[in-house]
Structure 1
């Protein structure tokens, strides 16, 4: 099933609530300072004679992050009160209405402080532009990666 969701309303961000889960591998695909966008993407490898779908996860605007290049499976959830407290202590000057999201993979945790997160699953290729994010020509992953 192909899916799409965009979360930016306060009631969707309940402390500790799971927002997204996938067993697929994700790569940090693009980040732009000008639009404060972070894009994570799955690869569209062939499996059993069929090309897998592509999943894009977009965080926008990003105020702070601690991320890795690759995630082997990905769970995105809202930070608990205690987690939000230490994230905000390590990152001064964050907007009070920014959401602290935890990215979990293989027992490890990263975070993104953002105002919205969304994802889309489609049948586009790795190199096709994201339907969720527009990138300036100088930072367009398709242009940079060829």
Structure 2
């Protein structure tokens, strides 16, 4: 069963990756028309098949069995706490294998990240897979 988690018509960029914890940050930055960033953080990310610029997106959890067969990805997806996320942007579909995803609004500056152990920028959660 597919479950939509979040959708937005804003532009997003692959922004940061925290290697030791597998945290992937995709951000829609604040600007003239937006007072807040939207930070999408995937946790325990092990696989991504993704374009670096996304013009609008929908994130959904999809059935793990529907994935293209890569042995290493399928092994990861066989674990209980793993998920396959489908990112839809325009007419394209992309995939990320991770434990879970959370979406936050924040007012961090361009050179600040919401990744890591400090949790700065994660005060206002607006969506998530758990």
Q: Hey, which bits of structure 1, 4+ residues long, moved more than 4 A?
A: none
Unaligned runs of 5+ in 1: 1-14, 136-146
- Which residue is equivalent to 2:103? 119
The 2-side partners of 1:22 and 1:35 are apart by: 26
**TM-score, length basis structure 1:** 0.70
Q: Is structure 2 residue 70 aligned with structure 1 residue 87?
A: no
3-state SS of paired residue (2:108)? coil
What does 1:1-146 align with in structure 2 at a 5 Å threshold? 15-47=1-33, 51-79=34-62, 81=63, 84-87=64-67, 89-90=69-70, 91-96=73-78, 97=80, 98-130=82-114, 133-134=115-116
**TM-score, length basis structure 2:** 0.77
Offset, 1:122: 1.9
Unaligned runs of 5+ in 2: 118-130
Offset, 1:86: 4.2
Larger-Rg structure? 1
